[in-house]
Structure 1
Amino acid sequence: MKTELVINEKLHDDEVKIHTKTATAGARILSYIDHFTTDRENLIIRSDEEFLMIQKLDIICAEVQDKTLTIYTQNEQVMTTKSLSGLMEEIKSETFLKVSKSEMLNIQMIDRVEPSFSGNLIARMKNGKKVSISRRYVSLIKERLGI
């Protein structure tokens, strides 16, 4: 991969252009950039009458069961009534992908991906949790991981 940094003091705002041969390479580069910028921000999550500050970078995955969203981080599980789509919108990061109608994951926290039945995949996360990737999202996760 060839890289180049061009400094142009005449620009009004910082501007970054990424030229890639494939969409996969572009998605991976955007994910890395996102990881080092927006993923270091904090989210405020309401849980059991308290507000917790969670760094986006620490989120491994999240799942919804019975209208309760459980967010798995490096150190804890946080339960809230927030919706999965609401969490995804609040995160706004290329590092996080919705992988089924009830689960999302941080692609930086995937340890390995294994095939499952019916064309699904299973992502084994760094904390040991298994996350099911439905067929609808398999091509997206493969593109993002470059596999």
Structure 2
Amino acid sequence: MKISVQEVDSCEEEEIIIKCHEMNDDIMELVRRLKMEQHRLTAYRDDKVYRLSLHDVYYFETVDSKAFLYCEDKVYESKLKLYEFEDLTRASKFFRASKSTIINTTKISHVKPSMSGRFEVYLKNGECVLVSRQYVPELKKQIGL
């Protein structure tokens, strides 16, 4: 079996192509694992390393040059930069809510207009996250307002 890796420009989409004589259980398992891995993140908490599903993340936030993943009832630290997380979630139901926050729209319970054109987003875990005025149009588009 031949294995090749080709680097592409950052503007090009990364792609994995599998060429095989027949689709067998090993190849199907490899494809399944690659697809699952695409939606997993490495996170840190209490000197332990975790692999989290992207679906479990309520929002991502940077504070004082540190990045955090907020899940239902736990907070994890991440080595990702905000723009890296945004690139990773571009095809998912996440949107930029401020210069330091990205929210998972599938975790939104309800929204409420706030002062100065901002919105308050209430998540299913009870947390409230502010959406900056410049990102409100994207929020409205994402949730169909």
**TM-score tier (shorter):** 0.5 to 0.7
How far off its partner does 1:118 sit? 0.5
Query: Which residue number corresponds to residue 125 of structure 1?
Result: 123
Q: Does residue 62 in structure 1 map to residue 60 in structure 2?
A: yes
Partner of 2:76: 78
Q: Does 1:105 align with 2:112?
A: no
- How many residue pairs align between the two structures? 111
SS at match of 1:45: strand
Of structures 1 and 2, the one with the larger relative CO (CA 8 A, separation 6+) is: 1
Change over 3 Å in CA distance of 1:90–1:48 after alignment to 2: farther
1:74 deviates by 2.2
Task: Answer whether contact 1:69 1:82 (CA < 8 A) is retained.
Answer: yes
Q: Which residue of 2 aligns with 1:116?
A: 114
Structure 2 gaps, min length 5: 1-34
Return the offset for 1:44. Answer: 2.1
> TM-score, normalised to structure 1's length?
0.67
State the identity %.
Answer: 25
1:136 aligns with 134
Q: CA RMSD in A?
A: 2.3
Equivalence map 1:9-88=2 (5 Å): 41-46=39-44, 50-88=48-86
Q: Aligned partners of 1:90, 1:50: CA distance in 2, in Å?
A: 23
Between structure 1 and structure 2, the one with the greater Rg is: 2
The residue matched to 2:77 in structure 1 has which SS? Answer: strand
Q: Answer yes or no: is the 8 Å Cα contact 1:63–1:104 preserved in 2.
A: yes
**By how many angstroms is 1:135 displaced?**
1.0
Rounded Cα–Cα distance in structure 2 between residues aligned with 1:47 and 1:93: 27
More deviation in 126-135 or 39-48?
A: 39-48
Unaligned runs of 5+ in 1: 1-36
